[in-house]
Amino acid sequence: MADLKSRGLEETIRMHGRRNDVRPTDPTIEEFCDIYRDAMSQTESPPTKPSIEYYIRSLKLICLHANISRLKKLDRAKIDAFVRNYQEQALADGRQPESVKTSINSWLRNAAAMFSKLALEGYARIGLSLENPFKGAKLRRVKIKGYSPLQKEVLDKIWKQASLLRDGNPEAAEPKPRGRWDDHDFRKPQPEAYLLLLLELGLGLRRHEADKAQWDWLRADDQGRIYLEVRQTPFFMPKGKERRVIPVDKPLYDALLAQKKDDVFIVPGHAPRVYPAGKEPKNLSYRCGMHHRALAAWLRSHGINDAKPCHLLRKEFGSYVANAFGLFHAQKFLGHSSPSVTSSYYAGLTDLPELKAAQIHG
């Protein structure tokens, strides 16, 4: 207001406009995170917005534990200090050493992505010259654990009792109040959770994909074969920004179609909230969070004790495809960016030698 009174409107606008155009040479961590978002928005092929926010949260956590507030203070010594401080605190809290190392490595790799060649070029374009403080840091390679398929009895039980999830099971236990999230009443129909089960176990969709899957993703070719095409919509961007096509078995298609409502989305419910440009949430926003919680609870009651029971459905689908059709098809249907990822999960299932009974001659 003082500038406005003393300089007038036009001069004040020019003066403050110049200030906004100047990038700080020694930004705070918060300022640097905003600069990173801005730089990525001007890049031809930026990371997805959820990935950008994962990287930012990792950098902030590192800086918090290293007790620094400005970017220039972030160097190898401070990064090493973060590793020591976090490791000591986590082990004192009773966490397993291997789990602590995995967490540390994940945060280091995510934060280092903010200093990739692409990012540094983006900063240079807006007048900020930086070096990568993570250069030379020893980042442990993330080892993907191979997948062990569900026991046949468990999988058969899930498919056979899926109709009780859809229509309700009169013999299910009465739900109990549990604070924020009460037990789900499986005595009543849970058709939305049933549809999520079909999409994730039957077609290997990720949670975000099943959440935003639309009926127009399903189509048939001139030979009557049915496909589901995971593709971009106004509400959804595929991981890696690439579409993929998954064949749909006729019984699975019929089961989906039997639940069709007058809705754009396969799992009915409210439309995703549309945000103005630049105001999008930093984390993935789900339409069907409550129904996913119901499906997770139902799966646990059927013998799946994985930390992420819904994501395990996708892995089970991948296991089936890898065994039946090979790793190439598994990679394509799952939408893995690299064959090595698919191989890390499922090669142990497909590379087993075929053992034949020895011919014994007397």
Q: Tokens standing for 108?
A: 């280091």
Residue type, 306: D
Residue in 244, 182, 174 with CA at minimum distance from that of residue 213: 244
47-51, 147-151, 327-331: least confident range: 47-51
Determine what percent of the chain is predicted with pLDDT higher than 90: 45
Rounded mean pLDDT, 230-236: 91
- Per-residue pLDDT of 20-45, as tens digits, reads 445 677 899 999 999 999 888 888 77
pLDDT score, position 179: 65
Q: Cβ(330)–Cβ(351) under 8 Å?
A: no
Rounded mean pLDDT, 199-215: 96
Residue in 193, 173, 101, 95 with CA at minimum distance from that of residue 141: 101
At 285, the pLDDT band (50, 70, 90 cuts) reads confident
CA distance readout (Å), 2 to 6, 22, 190, 268, 286: 6, 21, 62, 55, 46
Residues 47 and 59: their CA atoms lie apart, in Å, by: 16
Higher pLDDT, 97 or 192: 192
- Per-residue pLDDT of 61-79, as tens digits, reads 999 988 999 999 999 899 9
Rounded mean pLDDT, 324-341: 87
- For 244, the enclosing helix (H) or strand (E) is strand 244-248
196-205, 225-234, 345-354: least confident range: 345-354
Residues 86 and 51: their CA atoms lie apart, in Å, by: 23
Q: Tokens standing for 186?
A: 């499986």
Q: In the chain, which segments carry CATH 1.10.443.10?
A: 152-269+282-350
Cα-based angle 266, 284, 299 (whole degrees, multiple of 5):
60
Which CATH fold would you assign to the domain 152-269+282-350? hpI Integrase; Chain A (1.10.443)
- Per-residue pLDDT of 173-189, as tens digits, reads 998 877 666 689 999 99
At 248, the pLDDT band (50, 70, 90 cuts) reads very high
Q: Tokens standing for 314?
A: 């996708």
Q: Is the pLDDT assigned to residue 17 strictly greater than 90?
A: no
pLDDT score, position 97: 84
Helix (H/G/I), strand (E/B), else coil: 267: coil
Cα-based angle 46, 246, 232 (whole degrees, multiple of 5):
35
Q: Is the pLDDT assigned to residue 84 strictly greater than 80?
A: yes
105-119, 138-152, 206-220: least confident range: 138-152
Chain length of the chain: 362
pLDDT score, position 19: 43
Q: Cβ(197)–Cβ(310) under 8 Å?
A: no
Q: Is the pLDDT assigned to residue 346 strictly greater than 90?
A: no
Residue in 228, 190, 224 with CA at minimum distance from that of residue 209: 228
Average pLDDT, the chain: 85
Tell me the pTM. 0.69
Rounded mean pLDDT, 321-329: 89
Q: Is the pLDDT assigned to residue 203 strictly greater than 60?
A: yes
Residues 32 and 17: their CA atoms lie apart, in Å, by: 19
pLDDT score, position 276: 72
Cα-based angle 55, 287, 254 (whole degrees, multiple of 5):
120
